[in-house]
Amino acid sequence: MKLETATVDFNDEQKRYLEGFMSGLQVSRVGRGLGAPGADAGKAEPEPSGPDAAHFKAQAQVLREGRKLADQEKFKREEHPFDAYTRLKEQAASNAPPSPADNFRWRYYGLFYVAPAQTSYMCRLRIPNGILTHWQFEGLADVAEKFAGPYAHATTRANLQLREIEPKNAVNVVEAIQDLGLCSRGSGADNIRNVTGTPTAGIDPRELLDTRPYAREWHFHILNDRSLYGLPRKFNVAFDGAGIIPVLEDTNDIAFAAVEVRDGFGVDAGVWFKLGIGGITGHRDFAHDTGVIVKPSEATAVADAIVRVFTDLGDRTNRAKARLKYVLDSIGLEAFLAAVEEKLKRKLVRVPADAMAPRQPYDRLAHIGVHPQKQAGLNWIGVVFPVGKMTCMQMRGLARIARDLGDGDIRLTVWQNLLISGVPDDKVATATAAIAALSLAVAASSLRAGIIACTGNAGCKFAASDTKRHASEIVDWCESRVSIDAPLNIHLTGCHHSCAQHYISDVGLLGARVPINDEGDTVEGYHIYAGGGFGPDAEIGRELYRDVKAEDAPKTVEALLKAYVAHRSFPEETLFAFSRRHDEDTLRQLVDMELAK
């Protein structure tokens, strides 16, 4: 009897499920020592080799211990994303969305498929130290206009994101960015993210050190070493040159902060980097002061060793506990530093705290407006964006201003804005007028200068609230009702990932779905925090209110600000100091009094 073979047509969702199932089956076979299908059952796996060896060894150790790898680790183990570019091109040719596994893999190219918020990709770049040229900036406007939504977002890592990229244009965007001498490689997933540095590097009157060459060296070190991709989780590195604008280096996994080391402590006096590790404020922790100082010329080597220890020891089973912080929590700071020294094959240099001169204070408004550079007769101009968004027309206009009136550089900051540098004194008025003609500003109230918002649920599937819209509503409401004469920050983040770092702001709002009845219906809203800070004021904000409806958020923030103005001890007391001076119950009572008026 002849058997007929049945033909089954699977839909796209079923195909993606089967892909994931077979991937898991393959990893399971290997983990049980069965090898790939068709291999001898009892044959031992060869020792991993090549640039991915350390990652395979770490994964294999998990399997030998009888534990399960996180799905993302299975995806990496089955197929390295950099080996799958041909499939990305095939998907683009058919305008096909990615499978869940490929949605993770394509983040290695900076592409995030953000459905259901948008049925499209977001592309995040790499811009070392946040500095690019006018022609690169203008070129990105062309890329956005041709292949994406006609705008860009400035991020809290001194970076840019393009959005609304249809699958058919994903490869076009990645390659067009590379044509500009930029890239998006490794800007997502389990990789070392954009390298931040002092935005005024090389032009700052207060800086101890120009961070640009060190950020650039680390940037290219990452790009050209595949073994530094596929970490247990994302990884952030920042360089602070002790300039006037904060870099928030203490929120990073590695914080290199320039310090002046005094004579008489057994090391060469001069400028070194102070080393902090393990910062992740979304998990309520700042970088730990290690007591270690690093010669600037050795920063890349030390960072490399830290990353490789993290590669070996990071958790590959639980994504919520996979960041460097949790390695430090598990084995302790000293054991981790000993492992770093083993990788380096030398001891790290340690000095007591009093060996380092105090850092010059920040100016929390220096990212906005006109400020003199250390080069006589030149200035930088900080431009205000509405919650970090700029149109292609504005991008081209700013590029022309930088080219014709400045030194040609565009300098992004972690405060979701940019600087135009090298503007001569006699061209400042012309430049500011040209910026105003773009419907942008170089002056702002303390409220508007300090407002930060993540993408929100308009473009991110994780966000519970429309943060950028609500941020604008809060500023518009409060600006005309409360007179604030001191710098302050209000940060809105849509989910627990804390991309807008709500825990370190004077006022922080964390997106939430707020119940409105017993049937389980919810509306957009926030949990509200106060008293967060960074740098010398590093503190995690404390929760004041839970489940505040988004429509009530402006009045609640207004009441908090009015309570601060009415009850501060002296006119110069900051909102941070005022908030920390009161316990949560007392602070809440003061705010409630304002709400009741």
DSSP string across 233-260: S-B-EEEE-S-SS---GGGSSEEEEEEE
Q: Which helix (DSSP H) or strand (DSSP E) does residue 432 occupy?
A: helix 428-436
The pLDDT assigned to 33 comes to 37
User: What CATH class is the domain 449-595?
Assistant: alpha beta
DSSP structural state of residue 85: H
Residue 443, class by beta-carbon neighbours within 10 Å (0-12 exposed, 13-18 middle, 19+ buried)? middle
**432 and 423 in contact (C-beta within 8 Å)?**
no
User: Tokens 């977002």 appear where?
Assistant: 153
Residue 331 CA to residue 57 CA, distance in Å, equals 20
Collapse the DSSP code of 501 into the 3-class scheme (helix H, G, I; strand E, B; otherwise coil) and give the result.
coil
Residue 340 CA to residue 547 CA, distance in Å, equals 43
User: Tokens 């393959």 appear where?
Assistant: 26
Residue 101 CA to residue 80 CA, distance in Å, equals 11
Residue 248 CA to residue 535 CA, distance in Å, equals 7
- Please count the CA atoms within 13 angstroms of the CA of 563 that sit on its side-chain side: 24
Nearest Cα neighbor of 249 from 304, 296, 174, 199 is: 199
Locate the domains of the chain by residue range: 12-78, 83-179, 208-242+247-355, 369-444, 449-595
Residue 87, Cβ neighbours under 10 Å: how many? Answer: 17
Residue 524 CA to residue 457 CA, distance in Å, equals 10
Task: Report how far apart the first and last C-alpha atoms of the chain are (Å, whole number).
Answer: 89
116 prior amide bond cis, ω within 30: yes
Tell me if 208-242+247-355 shares its fold with 449-595: yes
Structure tokens, 79: 């197929």
Residues of the chain with pLDDT under 50: 1-42
DSSP structural state of residue 384: B
b/e burial code for range 558-594 (CB count within 10 A of at least 16 → b): bbbbbbbbebbeeeeebbbbbbbebeeeebbebbeeb
Q: Which helix (DSSP H) or strand (DSSP E) does residue 290 occupy?
A: strand 288-294
State how far the alpha carbon of 169 is from the alpha carbons of 136, 165, 414, 459, in Å.
19, 6, 28, 18
- CATH 3.30.70.3340 given to domain 369-444: yes
Residue 582 CA to residue 586 CA, distance in Å, equals 6
**Structural domain 208-242+247-355, CATH architecture:** 2-Layer Sandwich (3.30)
Residue 161 CA to residue 122 CA, distance in Å, equals 7
- CATH 3.90.480.20 given to domain 83-179: yes
Q: Strand 254-261 and strand 237-240: pairing?
A: parallel
